[in-house]
Amino acid sequence: MRKFYGLAVVSLTFILCSCSGIYYAARTGNVERIKEALESGVPIESKSENLGYTALIVAAYSGKAEAVEYLCKKGADVNAKDNNGATALIQAAYYNHFDVAQILVKYNALKTIKDKYGNTALDYAEQFEFTRIISLLKK
């Protein structure tokens, strides 16, 4: 029973931490809330404590193209890495978010970055046979 309780506490902590402020706004694609967070002094490159996600990475894995575009325009580092070495482009490719990947490439996201498992965005796109992303990343 103790293991379950510990796991539940860890899960609840993750939910509470990752769904607050700029990260929640990025996950839901709420550009107005992202703007408010940045205007209130939240650094655009701040990272979540648990996984090291930036708002851009969260928006990318969530498929929120408008939020990704806004964060890129505001100067977010398109090549920032989370605790696993994944970038926003790797996340977009992994979750098959073509529009997001297209925006990130437009803002010069590096296609050659590898995560801690040795995979690039193209590696994931090829693994899952995401043909549109494969074509984009091979250009």
Whole-prediction pTM value? 0.85
Tens of pLDDT, residue by residue over 76-111, are 999 999 999 999 999 999 999 999 999 999 999 999
Domain range list for the chain: 2-138
DSSP string over 83-125: TTS--HHHHHHHTT-HHHHHHHHHTT--S----TTS--HHHHH
Out of 1.20.1260.10, 1.25.40.20, 1.10.3720.10, 3.20.20.10, the CATH code matching 2-138 is 1.25.40.20
Per-residue model confidence as pLDDT tens digits over 113-124: 999 999 999 999
